[in-house]
Amino acid sequence: MKVGVLTAGSDTPGLNAAVRAIGKSIGKQPGWSLLGFLDGFQGLVEDRSMDLHADDFSGILTTGGTILGTSRARFQDLPQDSQDFELINQAIKVIRQHQVDILICIGGKETQESAKLLADAGVKIITLPKAIDNDLYGTDYAIGFDTALGITTEAVDRLHNSAHSSHRIIILGVMGRYAGWLTLAGGVAGGADVILIPEIPYDIKVIADAILDRKAKGKRFSIIAVAEGAISVENARFFDNALKVNQMIRSGPDQADVELRITRIRDQGIDGVTLLANQLEHLTGLETRTSILGYLLRGGVPSAQDRFLATKLGTICIEMIKEGVTNVMVGVQGDSFTAVPLSEVSGKHKLVSPNHPWLISARYVGTCLGDQ
């Protein structure tokens, strides 16, 4: 049995732990070998690879990043289906040349989508979930989330000191374009006064009133944790209406262009944080500062939980291969690990539901979520 492995998308703490678990597990299987493709799907298409042996896994459990390298390149980025098909054919050609029996892809939403395209073309695939914002459909937790959660919580803790001393509002920008899991959990764990997530459009006046109420009670500072995809009620209404009108037209190339522009506007997380800061400073009269975590969330040593999760996912992945299970993602559901069909994972985001226990907890401790 020859197994291929690649890490794709953005780098995340815990990737090396997963590669290590896969490699060490394969080393226990007589006649099995492991081939690593470098820099994700780009390296696969360009036929850049390395044989992986026991020595390659020494000392990497605790290191961040990935020894295989990664890239954001994916098959569906190409503008034409014909080119997309040619790249998939090239990837299949490389896989066959190396006599790889099954390919393990470790990554997030885009990786799952690209893996499904390969699976649909006849390649045997198993994927492992990786997402610091924990938005992957079909799994409760993904590699990297716990480490990013620890960094977010520590950032909120540290900002409390500065905000309290200077009587300021401090806004912490956190990754989370479509889902607010990371911002919500980190905000609750750190005791943020306001938490804003993409699933709940916020009313700026509600936030300002909550801050002014704190001020009236003698608390002259506030910490706001905001996901990069969080938007106001007004913007949410505008985007929804624009999409509805555009979909009603359904003619010419303008529809895709409008959707792309709207997506880009919603993705401008840093600008949104600056705008939010300016608005709150005007409405409350309190000096307001911002801090963006950005790629700090992707670096550093993986947490114990991420190392443990990545190790379990990697070893269970090999068990599934031995059982003949393919074209699935290894998902975490409760206390169990489940083979989730790629067809159920691809193209979906796992969002925070309105009555999720994390949200209920936030409301019970008095956190303002911008909606009431």
Give burial (CB, 10 Å; 0-12/13-18/19+) of 353.
exposed
**Which residues are bridge partners to 340 per DSSP?**
329
101, 1 in Cβ contact below 8 A? yes
Q: HSE of 157 in the Cβ direction (CA atoms, 13 Å)?
A: 8
The reply to whether 140 belongs to the active site is: no
Strand residues in 59-107 grouped as ranges (E): 102-107
133, 148 in Cβ contact below 8 A? yes
What is the rounded CA–CA span in Å between residue 129 and residue 109?
Answer: 8
Q: What kind and span of H or E run contains 226?
A: strand 222-227
316, 143 in Cβ contact below 8 A? no
175, 227 in Cβ contact below 8 A? yes
Strand ranges of the sheet holding 288-292, from the earlier edge strand across to the other edge: 194-196, 222-227, 169-174, 288-292
272, 176 in Cβ contact below 8 A? no
183, 197 in Cβ contact below 8 A? yes
Annotated catalytic residue within 11, 39, 133, 146: 133
Tokens of 244: 């509805």
Q: Kindly report the length of the chain.
A: 372
Positions annotated as catalytic residues are 133
